[in-house]
Amino acid sequence: MNVRYGFNATLTAKPGMGDRLVDLLSTGLDEGKPAASEHCVVYLVCRSASDPDVVHVTEGWTSEEDHHRIFAGEAAQAIVSQVQDLVAAQSPYTDYVPVAGKAF
């Protein structure tokens, strides 16, 4: 499947909560969770090399509609609710339409 819609988010966890934030975001890959969907073709959770409380998330989806539909579901909203408790700050949401690249 091709990525036709994606986004980046940078989240700054409350001090010392970076590990918990990474663990929580990683559950998005569990069966029944949003990133396990066939429509989510890229799901990367990355940590800043210089600050363990800064976490970057990159997602690539088959379509914007698929992303919004799945993100509105109960499983995704449960993760969002828990993430909000761990986050001190986040960058503006950056969506995009991929034009070239590679993902497995």
Count of domains for the chain: 1
pLDDT at 69 > cutoff 70: yes
In a domain, 10, yes or no: yes
Q: Is residue 101 part of a domain?
A: no
| pLDDT over 80 (residue 104) | no
Q: Which residue has the tokens 């363990």?
A: 52
Give domain status of residue 37, yes or no: yes
Q: Which domain holds residue 60?
A: 5-96
* Separation between Cα atoms, residue 103 and residue 94, nearest integer Å: 19
pLDDT value at residue 22? 98
Domain of 83, CATH number, reads 3.30.70.100
**pLDDT at residue 93 in the model:** 75
Residue of higher predicted confidence among 95 and 58: 58
Model pTM?
0.89
**CA 55/CA 40 separation, integer angstroms:** 19
Query: Mean pLDDT, to the nearest integer, of 56-68?
Result: 95
In a domain, 102, yes or no: no
Q: Kindly state the average pLDDT of the residues 17-38.
A: 96
Rounded to whole angstroms, how far apart are CA atoms 46 and 49? 9
Beta bridge partners of 7: 59, 95
pLDDT in tens, 92-103: 778 888 888 776
